[in-house]
């Protein structure tokens, strides 16, 4: 059956490979990017693939929550239903770590924006739908002050690893709170050191075939094996569901992350 699938960060790396895999199956693909010219290029690549279905694109800088809200509204205006949301966009290294909202860029893009997008689009995602959140093997205990933009972390590694655990933790909390009434919310490490620009910039290495990551995201979004995986963490370094960092299984800590994100969105942004 044809699905409607929204992929953030579809203009490069794993996200681009994922939409290239999904489009020829005839699914409706909603592309997200922050750069209109890059999005147009991806739209034309997908439109040239045999078997493609409808393709639409949305621009938003995910470091700006007003743009996330506007994008969600535009998607909701255009589509009655989203079968799968793949929160793939992410950032590791930056020269300007603090956003206009006073947040660390990694927490803003990797943790808070996908939360806001997911919560806003939730009414459009059916109970048998999926939200796939791009986690990582890099996971470190979250400094709540830093998440809220009240202190600096000082290193790209720390900010990235904390943002990815925070994402994994809100995935778990949201999955538990929605239960069977909501879509499956699943955190996925697509495989470490896949050859994207993020990995090339961060580690100066070519990295592995991006299609390894795209393949697991397609499976997570569409295949039966992930249908009852809400709240779980899939680690593609070992090819199976496993435990994330212990904080990711601590319900109280996971709920605290959600509370802090909700506070940030209320006080600073909306
Ligand atoms: N590669 C790996 O080995 C690996 C391992 C574990 C997890 N991951 C995760 O996988 C996801 C994809 O990463 P990747 O390796 O494919 O990296 P990538 O090639 O750098 O792609 C990142 C995507 O996110 C978009 N993006 C970045 N900042 C944004 C912002 N402020 N607003 C909107 N979009 C933004 C980028 O847009 P532009 O095209 O405009 O730059 C790009 O489309 C990330 O969440 C990453 O943390 C990757």
pLDDT digits (tens, 9 = 90+) for 123-134: 999 999 999 999
Judge whether 4 and 221 are in contact, CB under 8 Å: no
Write down the mean pLDDT value for the chain.
97
Alpha-carbon gap, residue 13 to 161, rounded angstroms: 19
Identify which of 186, 181, 160, 180 has the alpha carbon closest to the alpha carbon of residue 86: 186
The 10s digit of each residue's pLDDT in 248-267 is 999 999 999 999 999 999 98
The preferred substitution site among 90, 99, 200 for testing ligand 1, maximizing ligand atoms within 8 Å of CB, is: 90
197 Cα to the center of ligand 1, angstroms: 8
pLDDT of residue 268: 73
Largest CA distance in the chain: 50
Alpha-carbon gap, residue 5 to 214, rounded angstroms: 14
The preferred substitution site among 40, 89, 217 for testing ligand 1, maximizing ligand atoms within 8 Å of CB, is: 89
Measured from CB, residues less than 6 Å from any atom of ligand 1 are 9, 11-15, 33-35, 38, 61-63, 88-91, 109, 134, 136, 189-190, 192-194, 196-199
Q: Above pLDDT 70, what percent of the chain?
A: 99
Kindly provide the residue ranges of all beta strands, DSSP E only, lying in the chain, ordered along the sequence.
4-7, 28-33, 55-59, 84-87, 130-134, 184-189, 233-235, 240-242
234 is written with which tokens? 């899939």
Residue 191 has pLDDT above 80, yes or no: yes
The 10s digit of each residue's pLDDT in 62-86 is 999 999 999 999 999 999 999 999 9
pLDDT of residue 1: 83
4 Cα to the center of ligand 1, angstroms: 21
Alpha-carbon gap, residue 161 to 146, rounded angstroms: 12
Q: Which helix (H) or strand (E) holds 172?
A: helix 156-178
Q: Above pLDDT 90, what percent of the chain?
A: 98
């Amino acid at each position: 059956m044809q699905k409607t699938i929204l992929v953030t960060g579809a203009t490069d790396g794993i996200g681009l490979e994922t939409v290239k895999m999904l489009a020829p199956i005839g699914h409706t693909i909603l592309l997200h990017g922050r750069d209109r010219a890059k999005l147009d290029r991806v739209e034309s690549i997908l439109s040239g693939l045999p078997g493609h279905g409808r393709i639409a694109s949305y621009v938003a800088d995910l470091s700006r929550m007003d743009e996330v809200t506007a994008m969600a509204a535009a998607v909701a205006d255009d589509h009655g239903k989203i079968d799968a949301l793949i929160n793939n966009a992410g950032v590791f290294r930056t020269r300007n770590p603090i956003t206009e909202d006073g947040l660390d860029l990694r927490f803003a893009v990797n943790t808070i924006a996908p939360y806001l997008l997911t919560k806003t689009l939730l009414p459009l995602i059916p109970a048998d739908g999926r939200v796939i959140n791009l986690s990582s093997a890099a996971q470190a205990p979250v400094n709540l002050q830093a998440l809220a933009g009240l202190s600096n972390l000082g290193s790209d590694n720390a900010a990235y690893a904390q943002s990815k655990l925070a994402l994994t933790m809100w995935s778990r909390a949201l999955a538990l709170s929605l239960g069977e009434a909501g879509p499956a919310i699943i955190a996925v490490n697509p495989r470490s050191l896949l050859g994207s620009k993020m990995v090339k910039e961060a580690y100066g290495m070519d990295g592995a075939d991006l299609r390894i990551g795209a393949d697991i995201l397609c499976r997570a979004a569409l295949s039966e094996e992930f249908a009852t995986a809400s709240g779980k963490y899939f680690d593609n370094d070992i090819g199976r569901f496993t435990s994330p960092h212990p904080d990711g299984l601590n319900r109280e800590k996971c709920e605290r992350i959600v509370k802090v994100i909700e506070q940030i969105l209320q006080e600073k942004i909306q």
